[in-house]
């Protein structure tokens, strides 16, 4: 397509963005109009993508990080022939695939965007897959706004892309000068962005974003080999918000609003057009999968029977160790499993996978947002990621977890060193909010095993689940309660103590299971038999087992190494929220602010040790008798 035609295509994209927002009565047309030339040149001259086969592994990937500019993306899809004009004008309507911010309801959208600062970190994950796992020459294009360049997650991604030498990644920064409420930090100072990116080792190209010839040359330079080591490229483009319509161009206060007179704006832009732009076809390619070559020096991607670790019943082993050993075993059985860690793999035990399968391990360092984003990016290419860090530090990445759910992403997240049971390190290291965090995520699975065999089984099961899956592990060694061949279905539980005379039920998970068993022994000596449930599946919860226990004992006591809000206690209470008879419920949880102490002292100070459980059961039973 000639440059004159590219300029016309850009105008078409503007017109269609204006029309879509006008039909919806809402949207962000001015943010779309600034990047029209960038999108037009990319589609017609550089993007290699088969819109009829979005699953083609050789397709280039386009991530619209500035997701509010969705009218531009949908206009691009229309120009490519992927959507028609009727669907374009269904923008933001109930039932439409063209949502206010893009989601994978559209087959050409890999990840949901709109929470600014996420597109580039996820793009890094996709580029990692392309270079080191798929070993395919597809390019990852990320179209970003200038406002989101203030996000810390962007700079985690910038450094990581440079460190991993992702020459297959191009960032396009649409520097239109205006944010939501006024000018951005650096305005049209392209050098301000350039010098920061170059400081991290990026190749940068500064360009007039409305000059199609200059943009074309910049994209050509970005895709050219850039020496050794390979470097990611940023095309930093000066543009104007609302370009082409005098009433809104470069004007404050026009963000996130349809144009006041769409008909006049379309006329000013030269009217409607019907240009069809064909993206380039990707080259045929084979993907590295089980049985292929490992690209990071680790030899072939293995595949074989799953042989999970085995431990002696009655011995002691930390569930974090079982996680690492089970993950390494799973990696031997499945060549699509990959692992990521946030520079704590010696503690999370992800290092076992690293040693066994270095070609499929990614060190993300202390950058938890990039950790989760990379996992999301990797799974878009068909890989099964397990991302681990301390449970406490996953709070930094929670928005990425939330958006992973919106993206319909399948990722496994593992939080170690959870709860006060870690001991002397103190409250800054204690994950006490993680169960609530992950339970709140739409479609999530939350698991909290208490022993090594249970952990290993659940690690393996997670690989075949949908959505966001979270596994909580414990730092200290705990007794091995179960045999190596026992099954632990997701959504299930285990009853560890039961009799016909049980007067109460103690519901526990993880660390507190062992405290509950010790409490049950003490209570039995005092003539108070209790049922003990290991509720290893916190979401989905075993409603049937809880209702049986409630009917049999009338009293349920939950005990958890977690804050009372949103954790195990709430999960149990929710089991009775649909009209089932509600038993007497009581909760033990971490309600204090911990300080440094031994694990045993921590559990006692927080009122979740065996002694506290026994005392709570006695009080609960006495109150029932009085009633």
Q: Is 203 left (phi over 0), alpha (psi -120 to 50) or beta?
A: beta
In the three-class reduction of DSSP (H, G, I as helix; E, B as strand; rest coil), residue 117 is classed as coil
Cα-based distances in Å from 88 to 24, 77, 253, 367 = 10, 9, 25, 38
Q: Is the distance from CB of 506 to CB of 532 less than 8 angstroms?
A: yes
In the three-class reduction of DSSP (H, G, I as helix; E, B as strand; rest coil), residue 310 is classed as coil
Q: Which residues, 6 or more positions from 408, have their beta carbon under 8 angstroms from its beta carbon?
A: 103, 104, 112, 467
Give the integer Cα–Cα distance in Å for 175 and 193: 9
- Burial class of 55 by CB neighbour count within 10 A (0 to 12, 13 to 18, 19+): exposed
Structure tokens at 123: 């793009």
Q: DSSP assignment of 363-420, as one string?
A: E--S-HHHHHHHHHHHHHTT-EEEEEEEGGGGGGGHHHHHHHHHTT--EEEEEESBSG
Structure tokens at 274: 């019907």
Give the integer Cα–Cα distance in Å for 501 and 513: 21
Give the integer Cα–Cα distance in Å for 198 and 24: 41
Residue 217 half-sphere exposure toward CB, CA atoms < 13 A:
9
Is 368 one of the catalytic residues? Answer: yes
Pairing of strands 555-559, 537-539: unpaired
In the three-class reduction of DSSP (H, G, I as helix; E, B as strand; rest coil), residue 167 is classed as coil
**Sheet strands side by side (includes 555-559):** 494-497, 530-534, 504-508, 555-559, 584-588
Given 156, 368, 515, 560, which residue is catalytic? Answer: 368
What's 359's DSSP letter? G
Q: Would you please indicate which residues are annotated as catalytic (active-site) residues?
A: 368
């Amino acid at each position: 397509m000639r440059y004159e035609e590219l300029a016309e295509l850009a105008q078409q994209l503007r017109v269609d963005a204006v029309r879509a927002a006008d039909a919806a009565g809402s949207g962000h047309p001015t943010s779309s109009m600034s990047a029209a030339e960038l999108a037009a040149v990319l589609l017609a001259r550089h993007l290699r993508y088969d819109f009829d086969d979005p699953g083609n592994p050789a397709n280039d990937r386009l991530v619209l990080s500035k997701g509010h500019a969705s009218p531009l993306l949908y206009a691009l899809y229309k120009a490519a022939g992927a959507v028609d004009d009727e669907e374009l004008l269904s923008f933001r309507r109930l039932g439409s695939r063209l949502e206010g911010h893009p989601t994978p309801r559209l087959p050409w959208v890999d990840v949901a965007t709109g929470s600014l600062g996420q597109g580039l970190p996820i793009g890094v994950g996709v580029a990692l897959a392309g270079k080191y796992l798929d070993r395919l020459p597809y390019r990852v294009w990320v179209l970003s706004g200038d406002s989101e360049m203030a996000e810390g997650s962007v700079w985690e991604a910038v450094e990581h892309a440079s460190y991993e030498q992702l020459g297959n990644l191009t960032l396009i920064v649409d520097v239109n000068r205006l944010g939501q409420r006024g000018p951005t930090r650096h305005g049209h100072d392209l050098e301000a962005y350039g010098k920061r990116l170059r400081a991290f080792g990026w190749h940068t190209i500064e360009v007039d974003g409305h000059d199609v010839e200059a943009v074309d040359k910049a994209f050509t330079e970005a895709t050219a080999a850039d020496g050794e080591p390979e470097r990611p490229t940023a095309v930093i483009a000066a543009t104007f918000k609302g370009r082409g319509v005098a009433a809104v161009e470069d004007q404050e206060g026009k963000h996130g609003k349809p144009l006041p007179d769409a008909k006049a704006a379309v006329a000013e832009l030269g009217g409607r057009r019907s240009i069809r732009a064909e993206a380039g076809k990707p080259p045929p390619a084979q993907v590295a999968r089980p049985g292929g070559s490992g690209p990071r020096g680790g030899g072939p991607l293995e595949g074989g029977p799953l042989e999970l670790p085995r431990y002696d019943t009655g011995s002691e082993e930390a569930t974090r160790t079982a996680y690492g050993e089970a993950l390494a075993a799973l990696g031997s059985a499945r060549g699509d499993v990959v692992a990521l860690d946030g520079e704590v793999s010696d503690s999370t035990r992800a290092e076992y996978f690293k040693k066994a399968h270095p070609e499929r391990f990614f060190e993300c360092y202390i950058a938890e947002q990039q950790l989760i984003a990379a996992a999301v990016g990797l799974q878009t290419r068909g890989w099964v990621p397990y991302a681990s860090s301390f449970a406490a530090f996953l709070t930094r990445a929670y928005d990425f977890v939330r958006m992973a759910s919106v993206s319909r992403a399948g990722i496994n997240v593992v939080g170690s060193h959870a709860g006060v049971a870690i001991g002397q390190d103190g409250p800054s290291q204690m994950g006490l909010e993680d169960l609530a965090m992950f339970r709140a995520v739409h479609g999530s699975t939350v698991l909290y095993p208490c022993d090594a065999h249970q952990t290993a089984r659940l690690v393996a099961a997670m690989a075949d689940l949908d959505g966001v899956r979270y596994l909580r592990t414990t730092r200290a060694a705990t007794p091995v309660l179960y045999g190596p061949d026992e099954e632990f279905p997701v959504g299930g539980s285990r009853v560890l103590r039961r009799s016909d005379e049980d007067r109460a039920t103690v519901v526990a998970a993880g660390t507190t299971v062992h405290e509950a068993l010790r409490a049950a022994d003490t209570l039995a000596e005092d003539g108070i038999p209790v049922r003990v449930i290991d509720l290893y599946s916190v979401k989905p919860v075993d409603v049937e087992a809880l209702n049986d226990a409630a009917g049999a004992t009338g009293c349920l006591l939950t005990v958890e190494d977690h804050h009372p809000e949103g954790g195990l206690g709430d999960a149990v209470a929710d089991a009775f929220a649909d009209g089932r008879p509600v038993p007497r419920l009581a909760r033990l949880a971490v309600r204090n602010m911990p300080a440094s102490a031994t694990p045993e002292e921590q559990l006692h100070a927080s009122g979740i040790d065996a002694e506290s459980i026994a005392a709570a059961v006695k009080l609960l039973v006495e109150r029932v008798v009085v009633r």
